[in-house]
Amino acid sequence: MIGRLNHVAIAVPDMKAAVEIYKNALGAQVSDAVPQPDHGVTTVFIELPNTKIELLEPLGDASPIASFLERNGAGGIHHICYEVDDIIAARDQLKQAGARVLGDGEPKIGAHGKPILFLHPKDFCGTLVELEER
């Protein structure tokens, strides 16, 4: 079921500083910052030859990454995103296996304009997992 690694998301307290690191120190191809008010974050995508890095900075008062950054002041890996062919089939299969889907369990349209779901980290080796339909 699980497909390619779509991206690794890193929560950062200071997007400008994070972009400097990836652009200047690491020499990566870095997108413009895009505010995503629906998701409570500003995102920057970094294209690597085999995957992407998604930098996340809190946006607004109720950002879903605010508490993560309280616990991880310097930032840190927030989630990993795997591609699946059929997100509903993947969700149903995982639920049947006992995994918990976050939120209301229905796919939302994510930062790439594709259906996504998040899975409970306690069911996936302590890692918040995002599924994105290909």
Closest CA to 13 of 77, 80, 66, 64: 66
Options 12, 55, 94, 130; binder of Co ion; rule CB under 5 A: 130
Stretch of 13-21, 80-88, 90-98, 121-129 lying at the interface with Co ion (CB under 5 A): 80-88
Is 132 considered catalytic here? no
* Cβ neighbours of 44 (radius 10 Å): 22
For the CB of residue 97, give the shortest distance to Co ion in the complex, in Å. Answer: 22
Helix (H, G, I), strand (E, B) or coil at 63: coil
Closer of 96 and 125 to Co ion (Cβ): 125
Residues 81 and 107: their CA atoms lie apart, in Å, by 14
- Rule CB under 5 A: is residue 9 a binding residue for Co ion? yes
Residues 112 and 125: their CA atoms lie apart, in Å, by 25
For the CB of residue 54, give the shortest distance to Co ion in the complex, in Å. Answer: 5
- Contact predicate 128/121, CB 8 Å: yes
Closer of 54 and 133 to Co ion (Cβ): 54
Q: Is 6 left (phi over 0), alpha (psi -120 to 50) or beta?
A: alpha
- Rule CB under 5 A: is residue 81 a binding residue for Co ion? yes
- Rule CB under 5 A: is residue 11 a binding residue for Co ion? no
- Rule CB under 5 A: is residue 55 a binding residue for Co ion? no
Q: Which residues are catalytic?
A: 130
Enumerate binding residues for Co ion (CB under 5 A).
9, 54, 81, 130
